[in-house]
């Protein structure tokens, strides 16, 4: 693989990850772009001890353009998009409308004595999985999935080295029902300047388990229990298991976890990286076969925090959908949205059974 970093017309970084080592990238960005927006504001919510990002510039981001105006497609002699090249394999670039960035902006004075405000430092990147606008992650070959993993490992390592970053989150949103604003197959990488609420909760639970058990890893123990039970396991190979968690929140939710407890994507070895693609592609195709239509989903990598007890973490991928039937969506209504208490309409054992049958 060849890694080539270039600069876009507004100063943002773009990195090509080419599968041919002899690929040369020289084409400049021909656009006339304004400077990127300043960093968002982080406002502290004292009632729940959480930070909220206020990024008003994102209100103007591109929303579901027609395919001939997609900014993630390769450029052509007639039209320039976010990627200057006329073709590419995998490419990563700084988001033009980031939730977090290192560009300073003005902050308001005191809002209330209880509401701290600080810059939304960090970084947000877009990763395009393929130049083919009509493809999806599930249609990629295993070799391309391996390239995507290499890119995510590269970005996780690089962003973890930024002084303000506390966690690197890699994810894909797929489907307008989920809230996708660009149809081109792509994901994102968020480098947070704080620990997100779910990570804090998982870390606290893992720490309590380690204290009770003499240092055992909570996720590794849960994974071993699911593999032993077997009734929620969807598929597995030598290095990975995909299973529906016993307390799944979403109608169709699957965890894909390496058998070896590693903290993050860069820690995966070559055999684990090779084995991931075939299993994950199988899972995505099963999801699409559930209702004979593309399933909207979120695919989220849970990695170790950069500084806070990384040894307690266990890398895993959480894939879930809000579709609960061919003609029904799972909306986050009163209990879920207001109180954070999920009510699942499908038993996890039944979800696993349906996914096994879709193989």
User: How many Å apart are CA 309 and CA 294, to the nearest integer?
Assistant: 38
Q: Which residues are catalytic?
A: 186
| Contact status, residue 252 vs residue 234, Cβ threshold 8 Å | no
Which domain, by its residues, includes 235?
198-357
Mean pLDDT, rounded, of the chain: 96
Residues 141 and 273 in one domain: no
Residues 232 and 180 in one domain: no
CATH number where 271 lies: 3.30.428.10
Residues 127 and 205 in one domain: no
Q: What's the gap between Cα 269 and its chain centre?
A: 20
Could you give the count of Cα atoms lying within 13 Å of 352 in the half-sphere of its Cβ? 24
Single out the residue of 302, 295, 273, 274 nearest to residue 355, CA to CA. Answer: 295
| Domain endpoint, select from 194, 228, 261 | 194
Q: pLDDT band at 27, cuts 50/70/90?
A: confident
User: How many Å apart are CA 247 and CA 253, to the nearest integer?
Assistant: 10
Residues 158 and 34 in one domain: yes
Phi and psi angles of residue 203, each rounded to the nearest 5 degrees, phi first: -65, -40
Residues 228 and 241 in one domain: yes
Q: Which tens digits make up the pLDDT trace of 81-121?
A: 999 999 999 999 999 999 999 998 888 888 999 999 999 99
**Tally of CB atoms within 10 A around 201:** 11
Predicted local confidence at residue 57, as pLDDT: 92
Predicted model pTM? 0.97
Residues 161 and 224 in one domain: no
| Domain endpoint, select from 166, 194, 222 | 194
Residues 173 and 224 in one domain: no
239-254 mean pLDDT:
98
Residue 310 has pLDDT above 90, yes or no: no
Residue 338 has pLDDT above 90, yes or no: yes
Residues 352 and 221 in one domain: yes
N- to C-terminal Cα distance for the chain? 32
Could you give the count of Cα atoms lying within 13 Å of 222 in the half-sphere of its Cβ? 21
* Matching residue, tokens 């660009």: 182
- Cα separation values, 272 from 127, 265, 279, 286, Å: 21, 10, 11, 21
Residues 183 and 232 in one domain: no
Percentage of residues of the chain with pLDDT beyond 70: 100
Q: Which tens digits make up the pLDDT trace of 258-301?
A: 999 999 999 999 999 999 999 999 999 999 999 999 999 999 99
Pull the structure tokens for residue 346: 């499908």
| Domain endpoint, select from 194, 217, 247 | 194
Tell me whether residue 287 is exposed, middle or buried, using C-beta atoms within 10 angstroms of its C-beta: 0 to 12, 13 to 18, 19 or more.
buried
- Coil, helix or strand at residue 279: helix
Pull the structure tokens for residue 60: 């103007």
41-58 mean pLDDT:
96
- Cα separation values, 330 from 21, 181, 182, Å: 45, 20, 22
Residue 308 has pLDDT above 90, yes or no: no
Pull the structure tokens for residue 167: 């966690």
Residues 293 and 170 in one domain: no
Count the domains in the chain. Answer: 2
| Contact status, residue 313 vs residue 303, Cβ threshold 8 Å | yes
Single out the residue of 230, 231, 195, 219 nearest to residue 317, CA to CA. Answer: 219
Residues 165 and 16 in one domain: yes
Predicted local confidence at residue 305, as pLDDT: 97
Residues 175 and 317 in one domain: no
Pull the structure tokens for residue 344: 């699942």
* Matching residue, tokens 């993993």: 149
Phi and psi angles of residue 88, each rounded to the nearest 5 degrees, phi first: -160, 165
């Amino acid at each position: 693989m060849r890694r080539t970093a270039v600069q876009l017309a507004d100063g943002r970084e773009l990195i090509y990850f080419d599968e041919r080592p002899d690929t040369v990238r020289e084409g400049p960005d021909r656009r006339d772009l304004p400077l990127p927006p300043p960093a968002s504001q982080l406002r502290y919510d004292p009632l729940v001890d959480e930070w909220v990002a206020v990024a008003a510039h994102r209100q103007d981001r591109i929303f579901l353009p027609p395919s001939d105006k997609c900014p993630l497609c390769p450029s052509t002699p007639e039209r320039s998009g976010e990627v200057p090249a006329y073709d590419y394999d995998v490419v990563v670039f700084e988001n033009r409308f980031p939730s977090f960035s290192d560009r300073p902006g003005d902050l308001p004075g005191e809002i209330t004595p209880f509401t701290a405000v600080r810059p939304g430092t960090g970084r947000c990147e877009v990763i395009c999985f393929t130049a083919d606008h009509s493809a999806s992650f599930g249609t990629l070959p295993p070799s391309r999935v391996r390239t995507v993993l290499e890119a995510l490992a590269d970005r996780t390592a690089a962003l973890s080295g930024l002084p303000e970053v506390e966690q690197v989150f890699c994810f894909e949103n797929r489907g307008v029902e989920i809230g996708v604003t660009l149809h081109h197959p792509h994901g994102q990488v968020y480098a947070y300047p704080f620990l997100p609420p779910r990570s804090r909760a998982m870390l606290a639970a893992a720490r309590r388990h380690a204290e009770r058990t003499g240092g055992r890893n909570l996720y590794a123990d849960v994974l071993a229990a699911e593999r032993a039970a077997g009734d929620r396991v969807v598929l597995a190979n030598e290095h990975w298991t995909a299973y529906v968690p016993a307390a799944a929140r979403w109608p169709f939710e699957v965890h894909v976890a390496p058998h070896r407890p590693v903290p993050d994507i860069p820690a995966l070895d070559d055999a684990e990286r090779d084995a991931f693609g075939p299993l994950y592609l199988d899972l995505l195709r099963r999801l699409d076969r559930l209702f004979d239509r593309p399933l909207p989903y979120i695919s989220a990598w849970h990695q170790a925090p950069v500084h806070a007890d990384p040894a307690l973490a266990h890398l895993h991928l959480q894939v879930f959908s809000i579709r609960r039937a061919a003609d029904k969506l799972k909306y986050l209504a009163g209990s879920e949205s207001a109180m954070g208490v999920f009510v699942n309409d499908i038993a996890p054992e039944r979800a696993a059974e349906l996914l096994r049958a879709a193989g």
